[in-house]
Amino acid sequence: MPMGRKRAFASKRSRLEVTLLGVVCGLAIGMVIAAIACVIVLFSAMGDALWVPDSEINRPAMPAQTIAPTPTPLPTATPEPTEVPITAAEVLFGVQSASQQQTHNVQPFPTMESVAGEASAQQNRSISASIALGIGTQRRAEDEDFDRTVFVGDESALILGNYVQRQRQTHSNTLGSAKFFVQEGLTVDGLLEPVSEASIHPVFQGTKMTLEDAIARMGASCVVLMLGRDDIPAIGAQTAAAELMVLVGRIRAVNPQINIAVAGLTPRMANNLTEPDNETLMQFNTALADRCARESIAMIDIGSPLRDSEGALPESRCLDPEGTGTRLNNAGNAIVLEYIYTHWPWS
């Protein structure tokens, strides 16, 4: 090849190499620029995401909250029965204080077999005078022996009913399912009065009625009358005992199959001047025992285990020695309750 042509070819080749090198360098630079741009965009985005306003930066940190574990409650001991001065009646079975002058709502006993048959009624009528005077039965009664029994009485029965309620907190079957229709100032004379808006009579299913009718509708199989103390000042011991037997007769006439018992009156403290005094109370109990023996009605002389050698109530068994001197405390009521268990005529 001629020398001139070789030089021209070499010159073209050099220019081509330079061009290719420029292209390659340009591509490389472009890639570097693109990479730098991507890095800048990435860091800018991260900066936006991590940016926190000054208000947030300067806000004081919230204190850490801790949740204390819930303490396990400690078991509570069952409180011992305490003496409760009688100021107003607790609602046991239509119990009201005398000042309330409200009617008494009574409820039927749970449905069970029919009330005791004629054989039981005959047994009630043949109870001997020894039982009527409070001589013990063959065995101590069981709780279930008192099922479907109703105690009717004045303040002494109210206090006993309150004591039974407290005992049922630890021994739920005390006196079985027995109920109480009791009120301060309840009298035999009042229960013998005709039913009226102002009279003190039981209310059964919305209707006020006589005690004997209420007992019949309740389905009671036994009734214990603890009455007479509040009648004595007005009509005397003998008349009060006689009227109590009139009430017994009315109950028996409407409920020929029911078992009936009357309770003797409890004594008062010797140095108390509240009427009736212990001599008058004993006159009532003696008259009542005599009538019960003649009528074959059971008498539970709940006052006999309470009397001291002088026939009075010891202060250790009295709830209000500075008051009436007749209300029983827990010790006195415990004695009465045990006496009822050991002298229950139908155990």
Nearest of 240, 117, 93, 235 to residue 168 by alpha carbon = 93
Q: Any residues with CB less than 8 A from the CB of 310 and at least 6 apart, and which? A: 270
Q: Is the pLDDT of residue 50 over 50?
A: no
Strand partners, 259: 222
pLDDT, tens digit, 9 for 90 and up, residues 279-330? 999 999 999 999 999 999 999 999 999 999 999 999 999 999 988 899 999 9
Please give the single-letter amino acid code of residue 103.
Answer: T
Question: Mean pLDDT score of the chain, rounded to an integer?
Answer: 76
Structure-model confidence comparison of residues 335 and 125, the more confident one: 335
pLDDT at 183: 86
Q: Is the pLDDT of residue 338 over 80?
A: yes
pLDDT, tens digit, 9 for 90 and up, residues 9-41? 555 566 666 666 666 666 777 776 777 766 565
pLDDT at 347: 74
pLDDT, tens digit, 9 for 90 and up, residues 213-268? 999 998 899 999 999 999 999 999 999 999 999 999 999 999 999 999 999 999 99
* Domain residue limits, the chain: 114-342
% of the chain exceeding 90 in pLDDT: 52
- CA 326, CA 323: separation in Å to the nearest integer? 8
pLDDT, tens digit, 9 for 90 and up, residues 64-88? 444 444 454 444 444 444 444 433 3
CATH number of 114-342: 3.40.50.1110
Structure-model confidence comparison of residues 13 and 59, the more confident one: 13
- CA 209, CA 331: separation in Å to the nearest integer? 36
pLDDT range class, residue 106, cuts 50, 70, 90: low
Q: Is the pLDDT of residue 44 over 90?
A: no
pLDDT range class, residue 139, cuts 50, 70, 90: confident
pLDDT at 54: 44
